[in-house]
């Protein structure tokens, strides 16, 4: 039986490359000359720590980071930008967690979406991936289209398609 896995993973090397490209652009931008700008990736916790002088520069830095990440192939939904920035001293700090894996609530929403579609497939939650099996590859491709067109808060990748 054909099957595929739905997952939400961010490649660490690609993310690191995107951060390096963003750092190069920030170094060359005129509006950031002579200001304190620091951001690094905590690879263990998958968190990007940002430290800048003002709120406006924080928004610009987030925009540059998202733009460069999207050019590297990382979906913007992979970053949790809802966390508020903390002001301490003369710097503004913000930690941006990178979503890696599908949490249980989102997995349940995706499985419900697949089951409500009426397609003849079975969806099962396996840790942080969703395995979808069906009798025809066309059904699996319909599931991929359904998940891409749905408004979900998770960046999805479709991997390990077997026939």
Q: What is the tens place of the pLDDT at every residue in 26-43?
A: 989 888 888 889 889 998
- Residue 153: its pLDDT value, please? 85
Alpha-carbon dihedral sign for residues 57, 154, 20, 40:
positive
Q: What is the pLDDT of residues 97-150, one digit of tens each?
A: 998 889 899 999 999 999 998 889 999 998 889 999 999 999 999 999 999 998
In the prediction, which pLDDT does 131 show?
Answer: 93
Q: For position 144, what pLDDT does the model report?
A: 92
- Strand duo 3-7 + 129-134: pairing: antiparallel
Coil, strand or helix: which one is 152?
A: coil
pLDDT value of position 72: 92
Residue 152's pLDDT is what?
86
The reported pLDDT for the residue numbered 101 is 87
Helix, coil or strand: residue 160: strand
Structure tokens at 42: 């905590």
Task: Say if residues 85 and 92 touch (Cβ distance below 8 Å).
Answer: yes
Q: What pLDDT score does 65 carry?
A: 93
Banded model confidence at residue 52, pLDDT cuts 50, 70, 90: very high
Task: Identify the helix (H) or strand (E) that includes residue 56.
Answer: helix 55-71
- What percent of the chain lies above the pLDDT cut of 70? 100
Dist CA 22 CA 69 (whole Å): 8
- Rounded to an integer, the average pLDDT of 79-96 is 89
- Other CB atoms within 10 Å distance of the CB of residue 82: 7
DSSP letter for each residue of 60-75: HHHHHHHHHHHHTT--
In this model, does residue 21 exceed pLDDT 90? yes
Q: Is the pTM of this model over 0.85?
A: no
């Amino acid at each position: 039986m054909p099957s595929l896995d739905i997952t939400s993973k961010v490649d660490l090397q690609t993310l690191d490359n995107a951060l390096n490209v963003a750092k190069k652009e920030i170094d060359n931008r005129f509006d950031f000359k002579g200001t304190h700008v620091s951001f690094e990736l905590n690879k263990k916790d998958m968190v990007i720590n940002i430290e800048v002088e003002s709120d406006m520069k924080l928004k610009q830095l987030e925009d540059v980071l998202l733009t460069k990440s999207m050019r590297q192939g990382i979906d913007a939904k992979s970053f949790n930008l809802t966390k508020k920035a903390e002001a301490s001293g003369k710097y503004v700090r913000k930690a941006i967690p990178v979503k890696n894996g599908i949490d249980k609530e989102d997995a349940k929403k995706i499985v419900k979406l697949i089951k409500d579609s009426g397609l003849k497939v079975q969806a099962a939650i396996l840790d942080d991936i969703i395995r979808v099996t069906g009798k025809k590859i066309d059904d699996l491709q319909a599931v991929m289209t359904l998940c891409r067109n749905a408004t979900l808060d998770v960046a999805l990748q479709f991997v390990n398609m077997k026939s």
